[in-house]
Amino acid sequence: MTQPRRSFQVGTGLFILLGFAALAYLATQTTSVANYREGDSYTLKARFSNIGQLKVRAPIKLAGVRIGSVKSIELDVGTLDAVVMLAIDKRFHELPDDSAAAIFTSGLLGDQYVGIQPGGSPDMFKEGDEVILTQSSMQLEDLIGKFLVNGDSSKSAPAQDASSTSEPSPQKP
């Protein structure tokens, strides 16, 4: 009498185990957890004048390898800059402190990420340091606008400001 009862209890236990094993498989093998474990990290600060579509938890990459993720994004009301906190894994604690941070887009329409270009300084970043050299996200609209403006100006005044990339040209009308 107890034998069939025992067998369905074992079967139920196996079923529940299988269900949780499937959940664990989904959670660890098919999601971003598989790429990167949130281990011990240290935080760096970076200021950008425009972060584009960068989101919290976007990856931080060095030479294409993921080394951390964006912790928070805030607006500094004093300087009107975007302050991005970068959480970088403790394993990568030897970043030269003149490294540069830039916002790139993966692929033509992909997500945006923070790319780190290592510098050559003998000193390393420490917890809470600020990344001085930053490059904002490239806005497609700005590029098109510049292209149009430069196209116009090259007719009137050729080769005048082909390399100026920071401000929109004054003779925009």
Complex with other proteins: residue 8 or 147, whichever CB lies closer: 8
Please select the residue that binds other proteins; options are 20, 53, 123, 127, rule is CB under 8 A. 20
| Integer Cα distance of 138 and 84 in angstroms | 16
148 sits near other proteins (criterion: CB under 8 A): no
Stretch that binds other proteins, among 7-15, 70-78, 92-100, 157-165 (CB under 8 A): 7-15
| Integer Cα distance of 161 and 172 in angstroms | 12
Compute CA 121 distance to the chain's CA centroid, rounded to the nearest angstrom: 23
Closest CA relative to residue 161, chosen from 171, 173, 169: 169
Stretch that binds other proteins, among 6-14, 75-83, 85-93, 140-148 (CB under 8 A): 6-14
Query: Residue 137: which H helix or E strand, with range?
Result: none
156 sits near other proteins (criterion: CB under 8 A): no
Residue 171, strand partner residues? none
| Interface residues toward other proteins, by CB under 8 A | 5, 8-9, 11-12, 14-16, 18-20, 22-23, 25-27, 29-35, 59, 111
